[in-house]
Amino acid sequence: MPLCLGITACTESRTPVDASSSAAAPAAAPAKSAAPLAMEAEPTFEAFPAPSELMARLRASLRDPVDTPEEAQALQELEGELGTFTYERPSTLVAVDPSVEAPMGNSFIEDGEWASARVKAIYGADMTVSCLSRPCIQYGDFDADGRRDLVVQVAEDVNDKSGVAFLLADQTHALLGAGQASPLGDDLIWMDNWQVVPRADGRGAAVVLGTASQTARAELSLTPGPGGSRTVTSAWSCTASSQVPVMTGPNTPRGIVTRSGVYNGSTDEAWQAFDSNPTGTQWISETWTSNPVWIGYEFSEGPRQITRYSLRFINGSLTSRAPRDFQLQGSNGGDAWVTVDSRSNEINWGSNEERHYTVSTPGSYLKYRLYVTEDNDARATIVAVSMGNITLTGANCDGSGGPLP
């Protein structure tokens, strides 16, 4: 039983029939000419004073009863998560920029309900909106007509195969996966993350779907076919690999290695955590500090998406220097850093041990840093953090589908 709710990072639940549905696309203007669905005016997210009311709406819309402990636990976890969301009405809803996080209708909930009705009207009653990975709904101008369109995760209930559906402002549409054959397969259950990006030709937007090992790109034809259906062009683009070159200095061969500090008088500089000797050289941070310590890398080629990273600790028996609590953070300039992954209580490191992590909320950033707030030493301050090797892995492709340099 797929569960989800149409709010900022996630839309609600989880199909061909006549494409000329009476449901119109959500308006791309501050005041809509018509509600997305023929129903009473929907309250916006800000109108709900408590998560319990949102949960009541969700429970009432479930097609299947909650009859297993796992399903009950999922609902409880969702209810707790709802308390962390805040909806702020944007000053305008007219936007083509795919990165704009603003609803097309009165609220993200209403967008989710409109999308659910639309996919059923187009693809049949067995096709449902589904949240398998975040975000569930994204926006972009996929046909280069100056209006924002919508792409949403869906699943076919009969065989439980997942996919994405493109729902355009001109009421045309396209389906990728969810039981339909494509170069990416008929089931997108493998998808770890996805995002809307500009098309390679600069005309509109495309969707990039990612895993820990590969990235795939999907683009819509700019001209609709019979019945309002658009062709999806999709292909695997490039394989994930280390995005940082083997460094021979703090800024050679390219990019810049950064750090908060280094052990006084030490030759264990930060760039050695990215060199060709992962078990022989290392970075040692400044010592006896109550502040976080960090080590990072800035790309010279432009922003990159990191989907996995690994840390190797090599400092002999001094495992107290291994990071215990830390975050992987990304930035596109200045002092604004976004946490893309967070770990705590990473204990019991062994000498030469390498640990691998999947980034929980990947994005595209120019700079990354490992931000350590606690080492494995029992004393109150950070005595020292040492790092033998850091690998930042991603699948980043240029417009032609080839790997970036």
- What's the first-to-final CA gap in the chain, in angstroms? 43
Confidence class for position 102, pLDDT limits 50, 70, 90: low
Whether residue 18 is predicted with pLDDT greater than 50 in this model: the reply is no
Taken in order 197, 168, 104, 11, the sign of the CA dihedral is negative
Global pTM reads 0.47
Whether residue 107 is predicted with pLDDT greater than 90 in this model: the reply is no
Q: For the stretch 235-273, what's the b/e string if a residue is b when 16 or more beta carbons lie within 10 angstroms of its beta carbon?
A: ebbbebebbbeebeeeeeeebebbbbebbeeeebbbbbb
Is residue 223 within 8 Å of residue 381, measured between CB atoms? no
Return the C-alpha torsion angle 141, 143, 147, 149, nearest 10: -60
- What mean pLDDT do residues 305-330 have? 90
Q: Which residues contact 206 (CB under 8 A, 6 or more apart)?
A: 142, 196, 197, 198, 199, 200, 217, 218, 219, 220
Ordered DSSP codes for 220-250: E-SS--GGGB-PEEEEEEEE-EE-S---SBT
Confidence class for position 110, pLDDT limits 50, 70, 90: confident
In whole angstroms, what is the distance from residue 79 CA to residue 149 CA?
A: 29
Q: What is the DSSP letter of 321?
A: G
Tokens, residue 335: 């002092």
In whole angstroms, what is the distance from residue 253 CA to residue 245 CA?
A: 7
Express each pLDDT in 39-79 by its tens digit: 333 333 444 445 566 677 777 777 677 778 888 888 778 77
- Residue span(s) of the chain under CATH 2.60.120.260 come to 256-394
Query: How many C-beta neighbours within 10 Å does residue 231 have?
Result: 12
Is residue 16 within 8 Å of residue 227, measured between CB atoms? yes
Backbone angles phi, psi at 394, to 5 degrees: -160, 170
In whole angstroms, what is the distance from residue 119 CA to residue 178 CA?
A: 12
Confidence class for position 371, pLDDT limits 50, 70, 90: very high
Confidence class for position 168, pLDDT limits 50, 70, 90: very high
Lowest mean pLDDT among 63-72, 268-277, 367-376: 63-72
Domain spanning 256-394: CATH 2.60.120.260: yes
Among candidate residues 11, 7, 1, 15, the one with its CA nearest the CA of residue 131: 11
- What mean pLDDT do residues 183-203 have? 83
Confidence class for position 151, pLDDT limits 50, 70, 90: very high
Tokens, residue 59: 């429970």
Q: Which residues contact 108 (CB under 8 A, 6 or more apart)?
A: 6, 7, 8, 11, 45, 87, 137
Top-confidence residue, 77 or 167:
167
3-state helix, strand, coil in the chain (%, to 5): 15, 30, 55
Confidence class for position 83, pLDDT limits 50, 70, 90: low
In whole angstroms, what is the distance from residue 150 CA to residue 70 CA?
A: 31
**Quick one: pLDDT at residue 99?**
43
**Quick one: pLDDT at residue 373?**
97
Upper half-sphere CA count for residue 391 (Cβ side, 13 Å) = 18
In whole angstroms, what is the distance from residue 106 CA to residue 104 CA?
A: 7
Express each pLDDT in 218-233 by its tens digit: 999 988 888 889 999 8
Lowest mean pLDDT among 82-86, 306-310, 351-355, 367-371: 82-86
Express each pLDDT in 251-266 by its tens digit: 999 999 999 999 977 7
Is residue 368 within 8 Å of residue 357, measured between CB atoms? no
For the chain, the average pLDDT equals 78
Among candidate residues 130, 135, 50, 44, the one with its CA nearest the CA of residue 88: 44
Whether residue 175 is predicted with pLDDT greater than 50 in this model: the reply is yes
Among candidate residues 4, 82, 14, the one with its CA nearest the CA of residue 48: 82
In whole angstroms, what is the distance from residue 176 CA to residue 179 CA?
A: 8
- Beta pairing class for 232-239 and 241-242: unpaired
Whether residue 176 is predicted with pLDDT greater than 70 in this model: the reply is yes
**Quick one: pLDDT at residue 213?**
59
